[in-house]
Amino acid sequence: MRVGVLTGGGDCPGLNAVIRAIVRKGVPEYGYSFLGFRDGWRGPLEALTRPLDIPAVRGLLPRGGTILGSSRTNPFAVEGGVEKIRRNLQNLGVDALIAIGGEDTLGVATKLHEMGVNVVGVPKTIDNDLNGTDYTFGFDTAVNIATEAIDRLHTTAESHHRALIVEVMGRHAGWIALHSGMAGGANAILIPEVRFDLDQVCQWVESRFQLDYAPIIVVAEGAMPKEGEEVLLTGEKDAFGHVRLGGIGDWLAHRIEERTGKEARTTVLGHVQRGGTPTARDRWLATRFGLHAIDAVHEGKWGQMTALRGTDIITVPLAEATKELKVVDPALYAEAEVFFG
């Protein structure tokens, strides 16, 4: 059997560990050959490939990014895209695909499976917002990077008596903000799931200064005030219809200065959260996902995605994983609020 492998959407620490595990088990144990598709769904769409064998995956475990490249290509937004993928898979002798990605990449995989393409999914996103799995790889690395940044910003905030806003990724789900904010001792955490009250945030800022400490506020890029202002950097949309977000941190800093008279600055972590070496936990999880993904191919579990439940790796239907996002439970967020102020 010849198996195609692709990585789509935003890059993520641990992608190379998945690729490595798939090949290192699939070649000696099952006798499969592998073909890497470059740049996400653009690979099978345009027949952009590179060979994947054991020498090609050596040394990948600690390496960030993806050797296959990535993109936000949506074949369903391309005229005749699905037929091009079918034709290219047939011409290249590819019997099955392993798609490694988040909601958009696996959403495409779900539709292709429904059209008869043999697909297995692996859940990847730093946002941890995919249904069906307790955690996605990449999340732990992103949280650790954000937490370290918050730790560093505490000292400079104290030195200059400023309020510092840390803007982290999270369009619809506040998992990174919640975990890093609690771990880093933030004085407020603002997430997309719960619209925030600007007056309350300013009260937290002022109470912190009254105690002779400088406040740290962690805000997810998709967080919104109760007033309902749309804080968008641009109206441009990607191939999946997502508007690029940005600016909530600066917006918040200006309002805090206006209302409290205290100096406020913003640090936008952006793609720093995606880059570099994956943590040990992400390497472990990515490797296990890869090993179970090639098992799923061998067992013909098409339309399934590997998932972490407790400490077990299972498979769940792609349709279940992509039907809706996994967001922060307001009750869990409420636990963090006891530390605010």
Q: Answer yes or no: is 282 a known binding residue.
A: no
Task: List 174's β-bridge partners, or say none.
Answer: none
Which of 39, 104, 127, 295 is catalytic? The answer is 127
Q: Answer yes or no: is 221 a known binding residue.
A: yes
Q: Do the strands 264-268 and 304-309 form a parallel or antiparallel pair, or are they unpaired?
A: unpaired
Q: Do the strands 96-101 and 304-309 form a parallel or antiparallel pair, or are they unpaired?
A: unpaired
Q: Answer yes or no: is 272 a known binding residue.
A: yes
Q: Answer yes or no: is 238 a known binding residue.
A: no
Q: Answer yes or no: is 1 a known binding residue.
A: no
127 is catalytic: yes
Phi-psi region of 48 (alpha: psi -120 to 50; beta: other; left: phi over 0): beta
Q: Answer yes or no: is 279 a known binding residue.
A: no
Q: Answer yes or no: is 115 a known binding residue.
A: no
Q: Answer yes or no: is 102 a known binding residue.
A: no
| Alpha-helical regions (H) of the chain | 15-30, 42-46, 81-91, 103-114, 139-160, 175-183, 198-210, 248-260, 280-298, 318-322, 330-337
Opening angle at CA 201, ends 327 and 140, nearest 5: 35
Residues in the chain: 341
Q: Answer yes or no: is 127 a known binding residue.
A: yes
- Residue found under tokens 């792609």: 318
Residues in binding site for Mg(2+): 103
Annotated binding site: 10, 103, 125-127, 162, 169-171, 221, 265, 271-274
Catalytic residues: 127
**Residues comprising the binding site for diphosphate?**
10
Binding residues for substrate: 125-127, 162, 169-171, 221, 265, 271-274
